[in-house]
Amino acid sequence: MTLLAVERIKLFSTRSPYWCAALAIAMAVGFSALLAANAETVSVDLTQAGSRLALVVVLVLGALAVTTEYRFGTIRATFLAVPNRTSALVAKTAVVAVVAGVIGEVVAFGSWAMAKVIKPSADLAINSGAEWRNVAGVGLMFAIGAVLAVAVGILVRQTAGAVAILLVWSMLLENLVGIIPKVGVKIQAWLPFMNADHFLAVNPPSQAESEAAGAVVYKLSQWGSLGYYAGIAIALLVVALVVAKRRDA
């Protein structure tokens, strides 16, 4: 508990969590407002269209939580105070993941509420399990994404490099893989952020419909996709912890 408290204090002693949280919420809620104001029909899943944009900001927050310490050398003081580097880094990851999860829930329900205010006549009741997963699941997606971002930050240690990797990976690379002839969509079915999107989908197409359209055919259920996404993040974190123990701070 002491380590968690220390990491919480260190995180909130900088401006990055405040700015990132504000930016993520503003982007997602603003995008939801824009869609609700211009769309003829508004559905629950449409209100969450901006969550992917907000996720990018949360990934940057996760990377900054680590790379800022390496940049200013405070990570050395942390490792001197806590010789068990794994414990210190796991505590940092846990704190960042919780903060990211909270941001995700605020983003999700804030976007939904904004759409409800703009289009009060729209049917935006969250009734089904799929709709609850689509909204409340954003927090889970953000928390896992933060773990992945912290892992990348530990491995790269430089802010510019870590942020560039995360932005290209989440916004560009996984989408570009799909243009590879014959095998592109097959590879996409096993990419982490694609599986995160699959988890949140309210009405995903059936396997037959996806095959007919030449789209991604996911091999896992929606909850299975979340587990796979989490597994990738945890595996990358384990690798990062091993590397952090073996090299100089």
d(CA 27, CA 50): 7
Average pLDDT (189-201) is 95
Average pLDDT (31-58) is 92
Q: How far is CA 1 from CA 29, 94, 146, in A?
A: 34, 11, 20
Structure tokens at 74: 């405070």
Task: For residue range 114-125, list pLDDT tens digits in order.
Answer: 999 999 988 899
Residues 6+ apart with CB under 8 A from 45: 131, 134, 201, 202, 203
Q: By the 8 A CB rule, do 33 and 124 touch? A: no
Percentage of the residues of the chain whose pLDDT score is greater than 90: 71
d(CA 25, CA 113): 12
User: Quick check: 130 pLDDT over 80?
Assistant: yes
pTM given for the model: 0.94
pLDDT at 91: 94
Average pLDDT (141-163) is 96
Domain region containing 62: 2-246
d(CA 94, CA 183): 36
Crossing angle, helix 129-156 and helix 51-72, to 10 degrees?
20
User: Quick check: 89 pLDDT over 90?
Assistant: yes
User: Quick check: 249 pLDDT over 70?
Assistant: no
Chain centroid to CA 172: 15
pLDDT at 248: 72
- Kindly report the CA angle at 145 between 10 and 65, in degrees rounded to 5? 20
User: Quick check: 136 pLDDT over 90?
Assistant: yes
Task: For residue range 207-248, list pLDDT tens digits in order.
Answer: 787 777 778 889 899 999 999 999 999 999 999 999 998 887
Task: For residue range 1-13, list pLDDT tens digits in order.
Answer: 688 988 888 888 8
Number of domains in the chain: 1
- Kindly report the CA angle at 44 between 42 and 47, in degrees rounded to 5? 70
